[in-house]
Amino acid sequence: MHSGGNWERGLRALRTVPNVSAELAGSEPVAGFVEMAVRELGADRVIWASDAGGRSFASQLAKVYEARIPDAAKQKILCDNFRRQAERALRFKEN
Partner 1 sequence: MPLIDTNVHLSRWPFRRVANDTTPALIAKLKQLGITEAWAGSYDALLHRDLSAVNESLAADCRRHGAGFLKPIGCVNPSLPDWEEDLRRCAEVFKMKALRLYPNYHQYDLVDARFKKLFAMAATHGLHVQIAVMMEEERTQHPLVRVPHVNTAPLIDLLKQTPKARVMLLNGFRAVRAGLLLRLQASRRVWFDLSTLEGMAGIGRILKQVPADRLVFGTAAPFYIPESAVLKLKESKLTTKQLDAITFKNAQAL
**Interface contacts to partner 1, rule CB under 8 A:** 4-8, 27-32, 35, 52-59, 61-63, 65-66, 68
**Least distance to partner 1, CB of residue 1, Å:** 16
Would you call 68 exposed, middle or buried from its count of C-beta atoms within 10 A (0-12, 13-18, 19+)?
exposed
- Residue with smaller CB distance to partner 1, 8 or 87: 8
Q: What angle do CA 25, 34, 61 make, to 5 degrees?
A: 50
- Residue with smaller CB distance to partner 1, 55 or 84: 55
Beta-bridged to residue 47, according to DSSP, are: 23
**Least distance to partner 1, CB of residue 19, Å:** 26
**Least distance to partner 1, CB of residue 73, Å:** 16
- Residue with smaller CB distance to partner 1, 32 or 70: 32
The C-alpha atoms of residue 67 and residue 61 are separated, in whole angstroms, by 10
Residues 45 and 81 sit within 8 Å (Cβ to Cβ): yes
